[in-house]
């Protein structure tokens, strides 16, 4: 929302949700048309070995970069939570993000990532969803209590901002689930297009509503000061924010294994013909998790990770590849509604990917990692409260 502008951001979020829903269903339709049951085999059927290699790279990169971003979030969030424990100061080892990332990896995310069947992560995903709803309540409460004391940034309520293209990439990152679509479709008791369409509609609509509430309340609170990691905006000594950070850290840890599962699945399909012995399964999982951990230890700014993953990984997976496969495989006439929509989404996705990558590289967004925001300083807060009150009175 900070990059797109609130009004245009809401419209773009709805658009990305629609494209996500449409393209998820289109993938399964393409699988049925081609007689394939995996994303890789579908693309291989449509575009041969070249398409297969490109997709495999994207399917690996997207969840792998997501794992890196989850580690960064965990390091950012839990260090601030631990500092609220009596006796734990900024110099304590629990306040060191590198230590926190390594320990959460060894104790939580690595063991959870060892599951071989994605269906086993169902309860983990449900727990993550419940925690997300609790975090949403906290964000809404803080919008009502903290928001009025923070002055709006210049141009905060303009219809659109110059970085709207990058915003689309971040939104695509938030919604993309195409890399595990066939895995989830195959886990259904009755895998049919009608059942899948119903699941897709409900899931994407629910995600859209949650994202809209999150985005509107958070941006309404912090406007142009909004950070890539939202909880970087809240003051360290804020009890509500501390609770939110703890829940956010937990839901991030619980989401991580799903991305690791998909990353490992790509490696299994490309290099091991779809099967792994127990020993190789353990070794591959450790290598993936260790690589993601190592990279996250040297990258501190979450925003740039989300942007790059959005334009490089998510946009092709959401906009380009599903529609390209359907256009290649479908025998419908050129003016059929599905084909017209597919062409429009394909062209739009290509423009977003190219323009978004250029803007992300040339105009990186600022990051105030680990710093207290200006409104957290008592003197600044008092001065701004006076200014706000005077403005309201006038």
Of the ranges 155-169, 277-291, 341-355, 364-378, which one carries the lowest mean pLDDT score?
364-378
How far is it, in rounded angstroms, from Cα 316 to Cα 56? 12
Please check the confidence at residue 388 and state whether its pLDDT lies above 50: no
Please check the confidence at residue 370 and state whether its pLDDT lies above 80: no
Query: How large is the average pLDDT for residues 67-83?
Result: 91
For tokens 């803080």, name the residue: 142
3-state secondary structure of 172: helix
Please check the confidence at residue 45 and state whether its pLDDT lies above 80: yes
How far is it, in rounded angstroms, from Cα 65 to Cα 296? 9
How far is it, in rounded angstroms, from Cα 326 to Cα 30? 6
Please check the confidence at residue 385 and state whether its pLDDT lies above 50: no
Best CA proximity match to 312, nearest among 161, 187, 172, 189: 172
3-state secondary structure of 33: helix
What is the pLDDT at residue 391? 43
Per the CB < 8 A criterion, the answer to whether 182 and 29 are in contact is no
Per the CB < 8 A criterion, the answer to whether 219 and 2 are in contact is yes
How far is it, in rounded angstroms, from Cα 145 to Cα 378? 16
Please check the confidence at residue 106 and state whether its pLDDT lies above 60: yes
pLDDT mean across residues, the chain: 87
What is the pLDDT at residue 337? 85
Q: Which helix (H) or strand (E) holds 195?
A: helix 193-222
How far is it, in rounded angstroms, from Cα 59 to Cα 44? 14
As given in the structure block, the two tokens for residue 373 are: 């925001």
Q: How confident is the model at residue 320 (pLDDT cuts 50, 70, 90)?
A: very high
Query: How large is the average pLDDT for residues 387-392?
Result: 45
Query: How large is the average pLDDT for residues 46-71?
Result: 92
For tokens 């399909």, name the residue: 269
Task: Write out pLDDT tens, residues 246-260.
Answer: 999 999 998 899 889
Per the CB < 8 A criterion, the answer to whether 269 and 40 are in contact is yes
How far is it, in rounded angstroms, from Cα 218 to Cα 215? 5
What letter would DSSP give residue 372? P
Per the CB < 8 A criterion, the answer to whether 316 and 47 are in contact is no
Per the CB < 8 A criterion, the answer to whether 309 and 69 are in contact is yes
Give the rounded percent of residues in the chain with a pLDDT score beyond 70: 93
Q: Which residues, in sequence order, are CB contacts of 79 under 8 Å at separation 6+?
A: 94, 95, 96, 97, 100
What is the pLDDT at residue 181? 87
Q: Which residues, in sequence order, are CB contacts of 252 under 8 Å at separation 6+?
A: 70, 73, 74, 77
Task: Write out pLDDT tens, residues 172-191.
Answer: 888 988 877 887 888 888 88
How far is it, in rounded angstroms, from Cα 79 to Cα 101? 9
Per the CB < 8 A criterion, the answer to whether 96 and 79 are in contact is yes
How far is it, in rounded angstroms, from Cα 51 to Cα 62? 16
What is the pLDDT at residue 162? 86
Structural domains in the chain, sorted by start:
6-367 (1.20.1740.10)
Q: Which residues, in sequence order, are CB contacts of 39 under 8 Å at separation 6+?
A: 27, 55, 59, 178, 179, 181, 182
Q: How confident is the model at residue 122 (pLDDT cuts 50, 70, 90)?
A: confident
Residue 24: phi and psi, rounded to 5, are -65, -45
What is the pLDDT at residue 182? 86
Q: How confident is the model at residue 71 (pLDDT cuts 50, 70, 90)?
A: very high
Q: How confident is the model at residue 115 (pLDDT cuts 50, 70, 90)?
A: confident
What is the pLDDT at residue 387? 45
Report how far apart, in Å, the C-alpha atoms of 325 and of each of 129, 274, 380 are: 32, 22, 55
What is the pLDDT at residue 189? 86
What is the pLDDT at residue 367? 67
Most confident listed range (21-35, 166-180, 330-344): 21-35
For tokens 């890789």, name the residue: 40
Q: How confident is the model at residue 392 (pLDDT cuts 50, 70, 90)?
A: very low
How far is it, in rounded angstroms, from Cα 390 to Cα 351? 46
The pTM of the full predicted model, rounded to 2 decimals, is: 0.82
Q: Which helix (H) or strand (E) holds 182?
A: helix 181-186
How far is it, in rounded angstroms, from Cα 136 to Cα 38? 34
Most confident listed range (29-33, 144-148, 231-235, 289-293): 289-293
How far is it, in rounded angstroms, from Cα 125 to Cα 220? 29
Please check the confidence at residue 205 and state whether its pLDDT lies above 90: yes
């Amino acid at each position: 929302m900070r990059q797109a502008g609130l009004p245009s951001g809401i419209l773009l979020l709805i658009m990305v949700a629609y494209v996500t829903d449409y393209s998820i269903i289109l993938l399964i339709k393409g699988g049925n048309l081609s007689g394939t049951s995996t994303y890789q085999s579908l693309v291989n059927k449509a575009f041969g070995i070249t398409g297969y290699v490109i997709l495999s790279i994207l399917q690996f990169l997207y969840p792998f970069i997501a794992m890196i971003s989850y580690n960064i979030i965990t390091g950012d969030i839990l260090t601030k939570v631990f500092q609220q424990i009596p006796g734990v100061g900024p110099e304590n080892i629990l306040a060191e993000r590198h230590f926190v990332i390594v320990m959460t990896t060894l104790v939580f995310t690595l063991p959870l990532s060892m599951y071989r069947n994605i269906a086993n992560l169902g309860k983990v995903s449900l727990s993550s969803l419940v925690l997300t709803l609790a975090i949403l309540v906290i964000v809404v409460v803080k919008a009502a209590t903290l928001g009025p004391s923070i002055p709006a940034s210049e141009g905060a309520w303009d219809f659109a901002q110059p970085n709207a293209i990058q915003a689309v990439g971040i939104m695509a990152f938030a919604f993309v689930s195409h890399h595990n679509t066939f895995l989830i479709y195959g886990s259904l008791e009755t895998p049919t297009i009608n059942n899948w369409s119903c699941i897709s509609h409900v899931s994407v609509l629910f995600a859209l509503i949650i994202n809209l509430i999150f985005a509107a309340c958070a941006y309404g609170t912090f406007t142009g000061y909004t950070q890539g990691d939202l909880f970087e905006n809240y003051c360290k000594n804020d009890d509500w924010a501390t609770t939110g950070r703890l829940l956010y850290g937990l839901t991030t840890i619980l989401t991580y294994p799903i991305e690791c599962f998909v990353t490992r699945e790509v490696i299994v399909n490309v290099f091991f013909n779809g099967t792994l012995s127990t020993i190789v399964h353990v070794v591959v999982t450790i290598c993936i998790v260790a690589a993601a951990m190592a990279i996250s230890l040297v990258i501190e700014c979450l925003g740039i990770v989300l942007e790059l993953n959005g334009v490089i990984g998510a946009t092709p997976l959401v906009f380009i590849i599903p529609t390209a496969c359907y256009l290649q495989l479908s025998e419908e006439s050129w003016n059929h509604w599905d084909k017209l929509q597919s062409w429009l989404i394909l062209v739009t996705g290509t423009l977003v990917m190219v323009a978004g990558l250029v803007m992300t590289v040339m105009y990186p967004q600022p990051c105030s990692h680990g710093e207290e925001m200006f409104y957290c300083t008592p003197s600044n807060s008092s001065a701004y409260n006076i200014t706000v009150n005077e403005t309201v009175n006038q």
